[in-house]
Amino acid sequence: MTGPSVDGILVEWGERLFYPGNRIVRSSTPRLSGSIGKRAAAIRSHITATVVRRAPQVMVKVTGGGRGIAAIAAHFRYIAKAGRLPFEDDRGVVREGKEALRDLVWQWQYGGSYIGETSHRREAFNIMLSMPDGVDA
């Protein structure tokens, strides 16, 4: 199978994969335009960049967020396994232990605008980054 029929299939599946239109938040990536041949060439180059060259990709997912410092502190404790695992603060300093965890919560609560125990709005978002081994965090 060669020629226009392959290009049509490639464009159909490539647009579904690289330019999905079913997102709630619209992507800023423009959909492909032009002839089938040009669109297929763009999909081929995207596949080459990600698969053939093994370009590292990062998956970003917003998994929730805290409405108040109690929820934020609970998430910090979950990430650090209640202080048993090292964690990294907003300055990139790796810290460990329950005291360091309490200090981090205090910094979040009083460091900028005050965050109450509970809140009617989201004070923080939990963002998960998943990347392949060997990629610089």
Q: Where are the domains of the chain?
A: 4-52, 68-121
Counting every residue written for the chain, the total comes to: 137
pLDDT at position 44 is 85
pLDDT at position 46 is 80
User: Are the C-beta atoms of residues 75 and 126 closer than 8 Å to each other?
Assistant: yes
Burial of 44 (0-12, 13-18, 19+ CB in 10 A): middle
Sequence-distant (≥ 6) Cβ neighbours of residue 17 within 8 angstroms: none
Q: Is the dihedral of CA 66, 69, 75, 79 positive or negative?
A: positive
pLDDT digits (tens, 9 = 90+) for 78-135: 989 998 999 998 888 999 999 999 999 999 999 888 999 999 989 999 888 888 777 7
Q: Which pTM does this prediction carry?
A: 0.57
